[in-house]
Structure 1
Amino acid sequence: MNPDDPRVQRTRDRLRAALLSLAAETDLGDVTMTAVARRAEVNRATVYQHYADLDALVADAMDGAVAHVARCAALCPLDAPRDRPPEPLVDLFGHVADRAVLYRRMLSDHGSARFANRLRTRLTDELAARFERGTRPPGAVPARTHAAYLAGALVGVIADWVGGDGDPGPAGEVALATWRLLRA
């Protein structure tokens, strides 16, 4: 199958949209390939022609979100004042807030381990690339270790923030609290 074929792209777009729609309505653990096929109005076999399993579809469907979060994290100026979060970090948490239900479902115990790993890995890669170009505070740890530490912290904060039962608080407040922790 040629991934550049417009028909393949349209089918994958429909499958991704169907999965995201279902994930916003119900726990990811309850979503099946049959339900995705039904929502996308394709044959179940078609789903398996494009994706080996539900985790592969989830990872592909959330790739844009992962890329946005990673881009925001990598753009944060590390010398911003401690009392005001950098705009890219506010953007990152605003993006997550706008999709809080989806992130909650993806990062929950019944969510997608592949998504959580992809998010952490993409954040680590983006930050490590930035750090290797010399844009990080001086430190005694290797750039990749520093990047992995920050990526794990961000994913942990995001998962905790969207995973709570109550109001997670405004994105700006969470961005400020996270920034203060990262700058400590």
Structure 2
Amino acid sequence: MNSDDPRAQRTRTRLRAAILHLTTHHDPATLTMAAVARQAEINRATVYQHYPDLDTLLTDAMEEAVTRLAHAAALCPLDAPRDQTPPPLQELFDHVAANAALYQRMLGPQGSPRLITRLRTCLTDALTTRFTQGHRPPCHPHVPADTHAAYLAGALTGVITHWLTHTPTQPPHTVALAFWHLFRP
């Protein structure tokens, strides 16, 4: 399968849209390739030509959102006032809130382990790059940049997951500011 072929690109776009739509309404663990094929209005065998399993399709479908979250986290100015959430961090939490049903299912107990790993990896990579460019909190200079970045990526993923699964009615600005307070004690 030539991934540069416009027909293949259109099919992949339809498959990604179909699984995101289905995941907004159903736990990922309950989905089948047949359901995705029906939603995308293509043959089930075609799905397998593009993706070996649902988790791979789901991770690919969420790649743009994961990249957006990592980019926003990496842009966060480390010298922002402690009592004011930096705009990129607020945008990150607003994006998650606007897509809460999808993120609840993706990060919840029946979610996608591959996606959670991809999110942490993307966040870690973005923060490591930023830290090695000299934009790093000065509080832990003896800790390697990649270890510090992994710690923050895990913390951010954990806070988002906890918020969506345990306190989803909390407004995004409250959770973003709480995270900022933890990040910048």
**How far 1:151 sits from its partner (Å)?**
0.2
Amino acid at match of 2:175: V
Amino acid at match of 2:131: F
Is 2:142 aligned against 1:140?
yes
Amino acid at match of 2:146: R
Is 2:89 aligned against 1:89?
yes
Task: Spell out the pairing of 1:26-175 with structure 2 (5 A cutoff).
Answer: 26-138=26-138, 139-164=141-166, 167-175=168-176
Under a length normalisation based on structure 2, what TM-score does the superposition of the two structures give?
0.97
**How far 1:167 sits from its partner (Å)?**
3.8
Equivalenced residue count is 183
**How far 1:132 sits from its partner (Å)?**
0.6
> What is the root-mean-square deviation of aligned Cα atoms in Å?
0.8
**How far 1:108 sits from its partner (Å)?**
1.1
Q: Structure 1: how far apart are the matches of 2:53 and 2:169?
A: 32
Q: Structure 2: how far apart are the matches of 1:44 and 1:150?
A: 40
Amino acid at match of 2:134: G
The equivalent of 1:6 in structure 2 is 6
Q: Structure 2: how far apart are the matches of 1:181 and 1:32?
A: 40
**SS of corresponding position for 1:136:** coil
Unaligned 5+ segments in structure 2 are none
The equivalent of 2:180 in structure 1 is 179
| Counterparts in 2 of 1:167 and 1:106: CA distance versus 1, 3 Å | closer
Under a length normalisation based on structure 1, what TM-score does the superposition of the two structures give?
0.97
Q: Structure 2: how far apart are the matches of 1:71 and 1:161?
A: 20
**SS of corresponding position for 2:110:** coil
Q: Structure 2: how far apart are the matches of 1:127 and 1:167?
A: 26
**How far 1:13 sits from its partner (Å)?**
0.5
Unaligned 5+ segments in structure 1 are none
Is 2:16 aligned against 1:16?
yes
